Amino acid sequence: MPAYLQIAQTVGERVTSGFYPEGSLLPSGAQFCAEFGVSPMTVRRALTILQDQGLVVGKKGRGTFARSLNFSDSAFRLDSLASDWLDASSEIRLLSASMAEADNKVALMLGVTPGELVVLLRRLVLRNDSPAMYHREYIVYDPRRPLVESQLHFTSMDSFLDSGEAGRFPQGELTLTAVPLDAESSEALQEPEGTFALCLEHVLQDSDGAPVSWGWFLVKAQLFRLTTRLGSRRTGEGSSA
């Protein structure tokens, strides 16, 4: 898992557990750099994730504070979810890379003309040498962009999860649903056709908000686990029977 995701997970757990009390000032960026042995940019990325999740709030000139959570607040971290599916021993296998004509759906999602050529990538993620996740992705073809070439070279989980590095995907939308596997995905995942799987659909955009990539991950249902906390619990509270 990339360092900034590990830091976000660790600090987020400190906030939700009450290790950092509600409204308290978090350690400075320099202190986090020293604790985790990373650069200021890595710490900023981690804190930005926590702000997006509503766990902390940054106040200009004052620092970053643990947010006061209501019981109705729920903290769900997609990066934590991904770390349950994937680890450093996982392997990404590129099944195919080809040019394809955009059908009406692909054209709509990528903002291109129906029939226009786009890049189609198919990947399989193996966990302990067993199929765990199937990925199908359509990418706007632009020879001026290094995106396609870089996408083809993702072979480690760190590089794959960290694919947004350097502003490659500044914006995007994610949707989680449960879907039955079709013939193609069931063959890839070695599951019976019609078996339900978790579908994580993604639309990734450039800095101008224009779609760059659309696709989806299909994850075996038995690998999916979602854990969330409601409100805030201080360390030691709620542990007695």
Who wins on pLDDT, 203 or 224?
203
233 backbone φψ class: left, alpha, beta (φ>0; ψ -120 to 50)? beta
- CATH number where 38 lies: 1.10.10.10
Asked whether residue 201 falls in the same domain as residue 90, the answer is yes
Asked whether residue 89 falls in the same domain as residue 199, the answer is yes
For the chain, counts of helices (H) and of strands (E): 8, 10
Asked whether residue 102 falls in the same domain as residue 219, the answer is yes
pLDDT band at 94 (very low <50, low <70, confident <90, very high): confident
- Domain annotation covers residue 107: yes
| Residue finishing a domain among 42, 73, 104 | 73
| Residue finishing a domain among 73, 97, 123 | 73
Asked whether residue 96 falls in the same domain as residue 212, the answer is yes
**Does residue 150 surpass a pLDDT of 80?**
no
Asked whether residue 201 falls in the same domain as residue 104, the answer is yes
CB atoms within 10 A of CB 116: 14
The whole-number average pLDDT for the span 28-34 is 93
Distance between CA atoms of residues 206 and 213, nearest Å: 9
Per-residue pLDDT reduced to its tens digit, 79-90: 555 555 566 667
Q: 């994730």: which residue's tokens? A: 49
Asked whether residue 93 falls in the same domain as residue 164, the answer is yes
Query: How many structural domains is the chain composed of?
Result: 2
Per-residue pLDDT reduced to its tens digit, 115-131: 999 989 898 988 888 89
Asked whether residue 68 falls in the same domain as residue 118, the answer is no
Residue 2: predicted pLDDT: 83
- CATH number where 210 lies: 3.40.1410.10
Asked whether residue 107 falls in the same domain as residue 174, the answer is yes
- The range of the structural domain enclosing residue 42 comes to 3-73
| Residue finishing a domain among 28, 43, 73 | 73
Residue 43: predicted pLDDT: 93
CB atoms within 10 A of CB 110: 21
Phi first, then psi: what are they for 127, rounded to 5°? -125, 120
Who wins on pLDDT, 55 or 239?
55
The whole-number average pLDDT for the span 48-58 is 85
Kindly report the pTM of this predicted structure.
Answer: 0.60
Asked whether residue 39 falls in the same domain as residue 125, the answer is no
Distance between CA atoms of residues 56 and 26, nearest Å: 9
Asked whether residue 143 falls in the same domain as residue 162, the answer is yes
Asked whether residue 104 falls in the same domain as residue 186, the answer is yes
Asked whether residue 97 falls in the same domain as residue 162, the answer is yes
